[in-house]
Amino acid sequence: MRPSVSTAAKWVGVATALAWAAVAAAQGVTIVVNGSGGSLAQVIEKVYEKPFFEETGIRVKATAATDHLGKLKAMMQTRNIEWDATELNAEGYPIAVENGWLEPLDWKFLDPNNELPAEAKPKYGVVAATYSTILAVRTDKLPPGKEMKSWKDFWDVKTFPGPRSLRNDPTRNLEFALLADGVPKENLYKVLSTDEGLNRAFRKLDEIKPHIVTWWEAGAQPVQFLADGEVHYASAWNGRITVLAKKTPVKIVWNGGSLNLSYVVIPKGAKHVKEAHTYIKRTFLDPKRNAEFTAAILYPGFHPGIYKYLPEEVGRELPTYPANVAVQFAFDDEWWSKRQDKIKERWNAWLLK
Amino acid sequence: MTRLTRLRDAVHGLPAGWLLAPAVLLLVGLFVYPTLEIAKLSLFDPGFTTQHFARFFGTPVYLRVFLHTGQISLVVALGCFVLGYPAAYFIVRMPPRWRPYVLFLILVPLWMSILIRNYAWMVVLGRTGLINSLLLGLGLTAEPLKMLFTTEAVYLAMIQILLPIMILTCYGVMVEIDQGLLRAARGLGATPARAFLAVFVPLSLSGVATGGIIVFMLSMGFFITPALLGGRRDMMMANLISYQVSTTLNWGFAAAIALVLLVSTVAAVLLFRAVVRTPAVGLR
């Protein structure tokens, strides 16, 4: 006798039950993933956390800290590791590595087919996103027939009069100043490493200082200033300017932009190291998911596969688009992590002058 | 005897000091202990060191920020007094049934996020803001006035943010002052101005002092307003601390700055108390 329909149904039932059992075993595990909150958290929940839970049964509890590095230090000191994974910016990553606060990553598990370029596989972090600090221009405020194309133009207040804004921090501004002074982008950190080069950058900043009406602190500020017409030219983060461009005549100048990485890392002693690996692999390192994330937020990960899933007009607006990479410089987080404190002191003194 | 009255008697039997115990416990646990930890952090890193304090007092930039913080706080406390004292007096003199409504209106801004109030000032003071649009539209100026990103903008916003606290503190003391004393002064031949200056002002001074001190102390720790509305020179101590805590992770130095801020604020308050002797007459 052939197996009846009901027998087949029974087998399907058993298989389903087994699958559910597997899911149930993983269930109950909740990993804590720390991010920056805001609209980014909403996108992460939609394209990363929810599908991940549906596939694996591992629940993701998202937390948002304003100060990732400081909180990580506090966790290490009190040995109460709350996070299973956390975002870390370019300046914070080398400090965390140096202090031994991070779990080494299992790259064989994360990238079994070796699809990622070697420079995208640091020992302790996955490149979760890339972002650029670029020059943003209100195109309707430009003098007729003129176009701002570089930091040299930003410094040229005769040809391009108007209020400007830069970030209240020496990082990147020293690089921008040297670019405006004619230093090729390959030599930026070599020049900055000498006292003479550092002085040169500050001297160049002296020139632009009277024309900077405000020094921004938070990424939302330059966007607001440009939207209100409070300033005509400003440094800003690329993703926010692309969004602003939908309603305001504003343009990104990629030339001389600072290309930065932001990492996702696993704190040393995290309670769910294995599950955190699974999470990272299936979200940040899944090109299709990452493409979905990128389309919403414009901060792409490092997986070369994502451009396959993105339309050309979105791709052009991204920091890692080949034509954009070619004209930017790579922000050197390690160089800065060693000198930040001292240079910031000088920066503050310079601002007060 | 019911259980309730027994309980009441038991409570009455306790020395009143015991009732403070929960508050003291909370203060010791959540304020005194952390403050001592901060003091430790500033002096041991990990061995005993004075390097953080030496750095603070040996670097001109930190001293300048320190003085600027004191200056801003002083101006804001004075500004709150000038605006808050008459306002509180006005409320005390109005018919009692109107007072709750006016006090409510004064409370409303306190429930609004400081961030939002700062942004509102940007909308008012900006190049393309309310005032400038009006002035340009009326042809009173040819160029937009620079109001935003100045120290004056910081004063303005901080005074607006802290003013309710000054008014409420002054009001609390003024409402307790027996209006009969003023009538008595008038009856004894004083002019209204004399009665106000010789009787009311001295009696209300403790409210002014308390309000001024609270506003001054809150100002010393301000952080967002100078960053959003101030110019490049408007750095305050809290901005320095935040940078050391989150960006450089130099917590020893951050603790040293915090301690300098705490000690100097307490010292300023004690000095002020010594100068303005508050009369205790007629006040509980």
Q: Which single residue is written with the structure tokens 């915090």?
A: B258
B110: CB partners within 8 A, 6+ apart: B164, B165
Domains A5-130+262-315 and A131-260+328-352 belong to one CATH topology: yes
CA distance B265 to chain A (A): 23
Residue B133 forms contact with A (CB below 8 Å) = no
For residue A165, report the phi and psi dihedrals to the nearest 5 degrees: -140, 140
pLDDT digits 0-9 by tens, B173-222: 999 999 899 899 999 999 999 999 999 999 998 888 999 999 999 999 99
Q: Which residue of B has its CA nearest to A96?
A: B249
In CATH, what class is A131-260+328-352? alpha beta
Torsion of CA B250, B259, B149, B243, to 10 degrees: 10
- Contact list in A for residue B129 (CB cut-off 8 A) is 228
- Contact list in B for residue A214 (CB cut-off 8 A) is 148-149, 231-232
Helix (H, G, I), strand (E, B) or coil at B48: strand
Q: Decide if B127 and A163 are in contact by the 8 Å CB cutoff.
A: yes
Q: Residue B248 is nearest to which of A67, A341, A349, comparing CB atoms? A: A341
pLDDT digits 0-9 by tens, A190-207: 999 999 999 999 999 999
CB contacts under 8 A, A 93-152 vs B, are 95
- Domain boundaries along the sequence of chain A: 5-130+262-315, 131-260+328-352
Q: What is the mean pLDDT of residues B261-267?
A: 95
Amino acid at A272: H
Structure confidence at residue B11 as a pLDDT band (50, 70, 90):
low
**Other beta carbons within 10 Å of B152:** 15
Fold of A5-130+262-315: D-Maltodextrin-Binding Protein; domain 2 (3.40.190)
- Domain boundaries along the sequence of chain B: 51-275
Of A198, A162, A134, the C-alpha closest to A350 is A198
ipTM of the assembly?
A: 0.83
Residue B248 forms contact with A (CB below 8 Å) = yes
- Contact list in B for residue A352 (CB cut-off 8 A) is 61, 64-65, 232-233, 235
What is the pLDDT at residue A188? 97
Structure confidence at residue A142 as a pLDDT band (50, 70, 90):
very high
Structure confidence at residue B283 as a pLDDT band (50, 70, 90):
very low
Q: Decide if B61 and A69 are in contact by the 8 Å CB cutoff.
A: no
Q: Which CATH superfamily is domain B51-275 in?
A: MetI-like (1.10.3720.10)
Token readout for B79 is: 């500004």
Answer whether 0.90 is exceeded by the pTM.
no
What is the pLDDT at residue A1? 42
Q: What is the C-alpha separation between A81 and A267, in angstroms, rounded?
A: 7
Residue A230 forms contact with B (CB below 8 Å) = yes
Residue A161 forms contact with B (CB below 8 Å) = no
- pLDDT above 60 for A5: no
- Contact list in A for residue B247 (CB cut-off 8 A) is 69, 91, 340, 344
Which of B247, B251, B257 to probe the A interface (max A CBs under 10 A)? Answer: B247
CA distance B115 to chain A (A): 12
